[in-house]
Amino acid sequence: MHAVCDGLLTHPRDCAAYIAMGDAPVLVDCGSGEGRAPLLRNLKKLGVHPRDIAGVLGTHCHYDHLAGITELRRHNPDLRLSLHHADAPAVEDADQELTCAGWMFGRALQPERVDDAFTGGETFDIAGLSFDVIHTPGHTPGSVCYRLEIDGKVFVFAGDSLTPSCDRVNGVRRDWERTFDVLADMEYDVFLPGHASQINNPYYAALMLPGPAPVRRAAVRALRRARVPFWHIASFQYRYLITPFARLTDIVPHKSSS
C-alpha cells in the first residue's frame, strides 16, 4: 500500500491517492492531473506504468480526485474507472459545477467514461483484491469509502466523506452527520483520508485515533456533545475561501506541474 499523490507529493491541487498492489496495481483516486509528471515518477519508483494499472476507484466526482484519469488513459485507454452511480453523471457529462472544476479550480474538465457504477453495499473484486463499497454521502451524493483487507490489515479509504461541503455541489449536512456515525462504528487498522491536510478536521482526527471502534465512537460523541460548529465554518470555507487559494497556486511556480 503506497501513497503516490497528494498536495505535497505531486501538486497543490491533488488529492491523496493510494495504490494497492494486488495481482495488478489498483488506484484509489488519481488526483487532478496537474501533478502528472511527479505522479508518473512515483509510480515508476514502484515499478508501475499506467498500462499496468487495473483500475481507478473514485471516492467521489470532484476535479482534484478524478481529473487525472484523462492523463492516465493517454497511456492506458482501457483503464477502468469505478464510481458511485450518483456521482457518475457529473464525470461523464464533465459538469463544471458539480465537479468543482470551473468555479473552484478554474479548469475545464473533460468528459470521461465510468465503467463501473456502484450503489453501495457491494464488494468489488479487482486484481485479486476485494474492496467493500460503503456509501458515505454528505460531501457529495455519491461519496463512498472503500474497505480493503490486505496482508492482515484493514484499510479504509475515506476520500472527502467527512469534509463538510456546500449546497453548490449538493452537499447535505444531515447525510454528512450520518456518515461519520457509520464510519465510527467500523473496525479497521488504518484510516486513509483524501488529503493529508484533513487531520485538521476534528472528525477525521477522531476516526484516525488508534485502538478499537469504541474509542473512536466515544471521541465522535464528545465532539457532537460539544456541538463543534464544523459544518457551518468549513462549508463557508469550502465555498468562498478555497477558490482563491486554489487559483493562487497558478501564481506560485511549482516544479512538479510540468
pLDDT 10s digits, 101-148: 999 999 999 999 999 999 999 999 999 999 999 999 999 999 999 999
CB 257 within 8 A of CB 35: yes
Flag whether pLDDT at 92 surpasses 90.
yes
Phi then psi for residue 132, to 5 deg, are -80, 130
Strands 123-126 and 129-135: antiparallel
From CA 31, how far away is CA 28, in angstroms rounded?
A: 10
- Edge-to-edge strand list for the sheet holding 116-118: 2-5, 17-21, 25-28, 55-57, 80-84, 116-118
Flag whether pLDDT at 247 surpasses 80.
no
Q: What percent of the chain has pLDDT over 70?
A: 91
Burial 180-190 (b: 16+ CB within 10 A, else e): beebbebebee
Flag whether pLDDT at 14 surpasses 90.
yes
Which stretch of DSSP H or E encloses residue 20? strand 17-21
CB 88 within 8 A of CB 114: yes
Query: Cell digits for 208?
Result: 484516525
Burial 98-114 (b: 16+ CB within 10 A, else e): bbbbbebbebebeebeb
- Tell whether domain 2-102+113-252 is in CATH 3.90.1150.10: no
Flag whether pLDDT at 98 surpasses 70.
yes
pLDDT digits (tens, 9 = 90+) for 186-213: 999 999 999 988 877 888 888 888 778 8
Flag whether pLDDT at 56 surpasses 80.
yes
